[in-house]
Amino acid sequence: MAEVAKSLSGSEGSESGSKGYKGSEGAKGPESGFEGSDGGAYPFPPGELGGCPLAYHRRRTLAPVAPVALPSGDEVLLVTRYDDIREVHAGPHFSRNLRYPGAPRMLAAADFGEDPNSLTNMDPPEHSRLRRIVQGAFTPRAAERWRGEIRAIAEGLLDDVLAAGPPADLRTAFAFPLPVEVICRVVGVPPGDSPLFRVWSDVLLSLTAGAAADRLQAGIEFAAYVDELIADHRCTPRGDLIDDLIAARDEDADRLSEPELANIVRGLIIAGHETTANVISRGVLALLRHPEQPGVLRAKPELLPGAVEEVLRAQIPGHGALLRVAKEDVVLPSGHQVKAGQGVLAPFVAANHDPERFDDPEVFDITRADNKHLSFGIGPHYCLGANLARVELQVAFDVLVDRLPGMELAVPVGELTWSAGSRVCGLNELPVTW
């Protein structure tokens, strides 16, 4: 395997792949020498139409566990096979605690990965304690209760789109405002403030080194905004999730600290809109590029939940993942060894496109069976908002297919542009006509 990698890279003198990792008996070390063939630096350019990076496909075949350089300059292992990715996120051997000296970092400057009060940066049992406090608001039943309200928001947005007439930028007019409005109502944020946190979240999710100062400033402003929001809810409760979290904090301070409370609210605001909005835009594009599929959905609405799962599998906007670090020496299902202390990047998008797990993974098929994608992650950090996001996506596609039966792209597909240098890869605009 390392020989193949070496010949691909053409790098003279790179040793046979062990790079100092001895490995336990029978286990393979990470493939080295692969860097030259794909640049070896994360993030990689997306594939066609913002799709899974080609580098992941090549690595999955030739070097499924191989070094990659992060924007910080630190080197971690990039893992590209479904079973290995599953093991990194769901198995007991990896941690999200990357806050010790010398830990691998995504960015050279501080970012949200270092906040010890964030749900995403905790390991069990601390993580389980915090998650228990908030998860009741995101059960399947709790998410279902929002369906009617979500539909009303979606219908209202489409009323405006139809009234303005074609063409429309569906990203701005529908895909973004829908999840923003929903998360504002669920959490208890004034929807009129959404332009503020749209700007903050764009900056905070950026991966470009030049954005470090902007990121710091956005983080300070966003934290001040949320602190004020919480103070305001303490004075005037509104019966929303922020009130519930404040009650959990104020009635029993051991359950939830003040920084944890603020952190959960910030996390929900950002996680609750950005990904869903991008999945809606990308999903609409996927449907428009397969013009027979919206008609099939209209004729057979019972296919909708499966169609949403296929949109999720094929169209997640994140090409990366939050880093993990090995707590001990581990042999992954592919037989490759990861040494204790090594950082690992195991992107869900690479799992979703693994041909060993999905037949013809590059084919977009709303009737796909056995669609166990990893778009919401897996393991302890499985997406808290998955049930809510599923309801939002089902409503969004249902309403669009029903009310815009003649929808098509208003520009040639090649003219669409994609965001770059961010943790999310989304469409900048989605011009449609009908």
Residues lying near ligand HEM in the complex (CB under 6 A) are found at 89, 119-120, 131, 183, 267-268, 271-272, 275-276, 279, 316, 321-322, 348, 375-377, 381, 383-385, 388-389
**Nearer to ligand HEM among residue 2 and residue 85 (C-beta):** 85
Tokens linked to 6: 């070496």
Query: Cβ 393 to ligand HEM, closest distance in Å?
Result: 6
Burial 294-309 (b: 16+ CB within 10 A, else e): beebeeeeebbebbbb
Query: Cβ 189 to ligand HEM, closest distance in Å?
Result: 12
Query: What is the phi-psi region of residue 239: left when phi exceeds 0, alpha when psi lies from -120 to 50, beta otherwise?
Result: left
**Nearer to ligand HEM among residue 40 and residue 267 (C-beta):** 267
- Angstrom distance (rounded) from CA 51 to CA 54: 8
**Nearer to ligand HEM among residue 43 and residue 377 (C-beta):** 377
**Nearer to ligand HEM among residue 123 and residue 258 (C-beta):** 123
Ranked by CB distance to ligand HEM, the top (closest) residue is 385
Which residue type is seen at 245? Answer: L
Rounded to 5°, the CA angle 323-281-324 comes to: 5
Closest CA to 432 of 279, 287, 274: 287
Neighbouring-strand partners of residue 324? 344
Is the CB of residue 117 less than 8 Å from the CB of residue 217?
Answer: no
**Nearer to ligand HEM among residue 120 and residue 172 (C-beta):** 120
Q: 141: exposed, middle or buried (C-beta count within 10 Å: 0-12, 13-18, 19+)? A: exposed
Query: Cβ 118 to ligand HEM, closest distance in Å?
Result: 8
Query: Cβ 381 to ligand HEM, closest distance in Å?
Result: 3
Query: Cβ 92 to ligand HEM, closest distance in Å?
Result: 15
Query: Cβ 269 to ligand HEM, closest distance in Å?
Result: 9
**Nearer to ligand HEM among residue 10 and residue 92 (C-beta):** 92
